[in-house]
């Protein structure tokens, strides 16, 4: 059946116009006829709309095909470039690394309590020393603060346990001494008179500690407190030397009234000012990195005063050290010092001088790594100075004159 539009075209414009007018007039006069022809008009309109849609779809399809063609070309170019750059392999490596890093992070997180916390605890307790402190002051110690950041609950438990231990230790000392007054952490020192003439003999402490037995030529730290009562030439706090082999030096003290003496291996370093006065306690730390041209340093009260090098080539020697003088092999007592000594510690590794100084307050070094000799002079009586390390190189109060070293209550405050 022809459409209205086709009828109009066939009849021509003017004629069509008359027919249209007649149709409208007829529709107006006859509503039933209008209803009859209405679906035809609607259908015609819908057909025109669908024709437009189809035409638009055809145009869009052509445009889409053009875009796909362009995209395919771009894809081909990109793939060629990626192949040249080995991008895919890089992505695989990155992905693999991420899996590895995630695994490592998991392992670290799983082991943080077992690895980091004990280290932080040990260092924090060393810095706290034998003093009970408040929570806020405890957190001022960097290791304790970091411990708190790692695990707050564990940090608080360690804080409480440390203070409880210090309190129990203090009560134990009260009981063991039989007094009602708490005993200070550092109660006694040893006083050495040193001979009037250093060529003669005087009081000293002999030990069985042989530096070579612990391979200290590979590195060490010596820490001690000294109060000079005299400043002069060749006065030694502790040490030893082979009588003919200067490569076996291990001696510390004074070279002159103003210069220190630091004898290690084949060298004696004597050009550095010691900066001490009589009647005052000073803390000394000497460190040696070991071997050939190893770094040798000296610190007074946590401040570095010497940074040099020396070489210590180990040879067989069985000469132990003395306190209050130096032990020369086959000769014994040599160059004593009129001074007081306290808290001597020796390690087979390089330690931090500032930590050992602890702002001028001695603390218990028993748990420190590398400790191989530790004499605290806390006996207060008798003729034995106990080595508190596990090596039991105890010292014996000795004299080649008339008097032994004497116990003193003058200590580091």
Q: Where are the domains of the chain?
A: 4-69, 97-177, 189-408
- The per-residue pLDDT for range 294-353, each reduced to its tens digit, is 999 999 999 999 999 999 987 777 899 999 999 998 889 999 999 999 999 999 999 999
| Stated length of the chain | 413
- Residue 217 DSSP class: G
| Lowest mean per-residue pLDDT among 34-38, 139-143, 242-246, 395-399 | 34-38
pLDDT in the model for residue 180: 39
- The per-residue pLDDT for range 69-105, each reduced to its tens digit, is 776 776 666 556 545 544 444 444 444 444 444 544 4
Contacts of residue 77, defined as CB under 8 A and 6 or more positions apart, other chains included, come to none
pLDDT in the model for residue 403: 83
Question: Residue 409 has which token pair?
Answer: 């209550």
Q: Are 312 and 286 in contact (CB under 8 A)?
A: no
Give 162 or 116, the one with higher predicted confidence. Answer: 162
pLDDT in the model for residue 108: 42
- The per-residue pLDDT for range 138-171, each reduced to its tens digit, is 898 888 888 888 788 888 888 888 877 666 655 5
Give me the chain's average pLDDT, please. 78
Q: Residue 297: beta bridge partners? A: 287, 307
Question: Residue 56 has which token pair?
Answer: 């638009």
- Tokens 């960097």 found at: 142
Give 16 or 77, the one with higher predicted confidence. Answer: 77
Q: Are 345 and 223 in contact (CB under 8 A)?
A: yes
- Residue 318 DSSP class: -
pLDDT in the model for residue 217: 93
CATH T-level fold of 189-408: Jelly Rolls (2.60.120)
- The per-residue pLDDT for range 214-270, each reduced to its tens digit, is 999 999 999 999 999 999 999 999 999 887 667 789 999 999 999 999 999 989 999
Q: Residue 268: beta bridge partners? A: 263
Q: Residue 76: beta bridge partners? A: none
Band of pLDDT at residue 41, cut at 50, 70 and 90? low
360 pLDDT above the threshold of 80: yes
Closest CA to 362 of 254, 289, 281: 281
Helix (H) or strand (E) holding 346: strand 339-347
Give percent of the chain above pLDDT 90.
44
pLDDT in the model for residue 150: 79
Is residue 98 helix, strand or coil? helix
Beta strands 326-328 and 235-241 are parallel
């Amino acid at each position: 059946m022809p459409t209205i539009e086709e009828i109009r075209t066939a009849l021509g414009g003017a004629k069509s116009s008359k027919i249209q007018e007649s149709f409208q007039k007829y529709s107006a006069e006859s509503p039933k006829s209008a209803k009859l022809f209405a679906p035809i008009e609607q259908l015609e309109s819908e057909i025109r709309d669908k024709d437009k849609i189809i035409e638009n779809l055809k145009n869009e399809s052509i445009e889409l095909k053009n875009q796909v063609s362009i995209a395919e070309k771009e894809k081909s170019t990109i793939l060629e470039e990626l192949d040249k750059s080995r991008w895919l392999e890089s992505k695989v490596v990155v992905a693999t690394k991420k899996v590895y890093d995630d695994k490592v992070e998991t392992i670290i997180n799983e082991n943080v309590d077992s690895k980091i916390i004990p280290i932080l605890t040990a260092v924090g307790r060393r810095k706290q020393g034998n003093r009970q402190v408040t929570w806020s002051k405890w957190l001022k110690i960097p290791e304790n603060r970091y411990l708190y950041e790692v695990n707050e609950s564990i940090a608080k438990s360690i804080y409480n346990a440390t203070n409880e231990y210090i309190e129990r230790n203090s009560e134990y000392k009260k009981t063991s001494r039989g007094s009602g007054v708490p005993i200070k952490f550092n109660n006694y020192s040893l006083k050495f008179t040193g001979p009037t003439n250093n060529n003669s003999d005087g009081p000293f402490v002999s030990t069985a500690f042989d530096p070579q037995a612990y391979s200290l030529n590979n590195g060490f730290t010596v820490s001690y407190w000294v109060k000079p009562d005299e400043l002069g030439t060749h006065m030694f706090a502790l040490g030893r030397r082979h009588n003919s082999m200067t490569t076996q030096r291990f001696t510390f003290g004074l070279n002159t009234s103003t210069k220190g003496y630091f004898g290690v291996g084949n060298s004696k370093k004597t050009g550095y000012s010691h900066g001490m006065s009589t009647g005052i306690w000073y803390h000394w730390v000497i460190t040696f990195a070991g071997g050939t041209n190893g770094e040798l340093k000296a610190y007074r009260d946590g401040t570095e005063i010497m940074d040099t090098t020396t070489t210590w080539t180990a040879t067989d020697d069985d000469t132990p050290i003395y306190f209050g003088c130096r032990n020369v092999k086959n000769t014994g007592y040599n160059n004593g010092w009129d001074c007081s000594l306290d808290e001597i510690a020796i390690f087979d590794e390089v330690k931090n001088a500032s930590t050992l100084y602890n702002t001028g307050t001695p603390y218990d070094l028993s748990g420190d790594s590398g400790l191989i000799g530790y004499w605290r002079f806390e006996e207060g009586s008798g003729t034995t100075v106990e080595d508190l390390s596990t090596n039991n190189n105890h010292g014996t109060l000795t004299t080649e004159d008339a008097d032994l070293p004497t116990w003193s209550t003058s200590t580091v405050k």
